[in-house]
Structures are given as C-alpha cells and as structure tokens.
C-alpha cells in the first residue's frame, strides 16, 4: 500500500492529518528529485527528454491527485 493510499483511507480519522502531511512531504520530495534531474548538467539532453516524456505526466498526475483528494480539512 502506498503513502497516498494510506492517506486517502485515513480521511476522517485521527490519523488523517499526519498521513496527509507525510504524503505531501513525499510528493514534494519526488517533485524536487524530478526537477533536479531536468536541471542537472550531468544528464544529457536526450536523457532529460526521455525523463520528461516518461515521468513528467505521472508527476503532474500525482501532484494533482494529492492536491485534489488530500485536503487536511476533510
């Protein structure tokens, strides 16, 4: 079970706030790592293109899902 799944299942419980915070922190870490790859001078342009094509949409979907479905006031 992923952090996201745990957080969505805990909505409305006493654990929700911590689970949501943990999921958001992990999501931010993934986004930072993704951006660092795209900004890295040690990664070639072709590799960056592959990362953008294969991972970029998934990153956006993850961020959108967390933003839309994990609100701390739920």
Residues 23-52 have pLDDT tens digits of 999 999 999 999 999 999 999 999 999 999
Q: Name which of 68, 70, 73 is nearest 20 in CA terms.
A: 70
Q: Flag whether 50 is in a domain.
A: yes
Compute the average pLDDT of residues 1-13: 92
Average of per-residue pLDDT values in the chain: 93
Q: Flag whether 59 is in a domain.
A: yes
Does pLDDT of 73 surpass 70? Answer: no
Helix 45-69 with 16-39: angle, nearest 10 deg = 160
Q: Flag whether 60 is in a domain.
A: yes
How many domains does the structure of the chain reveal?
A: 1
Distance CA 73, CA 54 (A): 33
Compute the average pLDDT of residues 6-28: 94
Tokens of 29: 């870490």
Q: Flag whether 42 is in a domain.
A: yes
Q: Flag whether 54 is in a domain.
A: yes
Residues with Cβ within 8 Å of residue 38, at least 6 apart in sequence: 48, 51, 52
Q: Flag whether 37 is in a domain.
A: yes
Tell me which residue range forms the domain holding 25. 3-69
Q: Flag whether 33 is in a domain.
A: yes
Distance CA 27, CA 65 (A): 10
């Amino acid at each position: 079970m992923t952090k996201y799944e745990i957080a969505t299942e805990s909505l409305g419980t006493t654990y929700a706030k911590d689970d949501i915070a943990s999921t958001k922190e992990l999501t931010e870490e993934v986004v930072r790592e993704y951006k660092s790859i795209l900004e890295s001078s040690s990664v070639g342009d072709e590799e960056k293109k592959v990362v953008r094509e294969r991972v970029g949409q998934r990153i956006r979907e993850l961020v959108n899902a967390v933003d839309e479905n994990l609100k701390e006031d739920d």
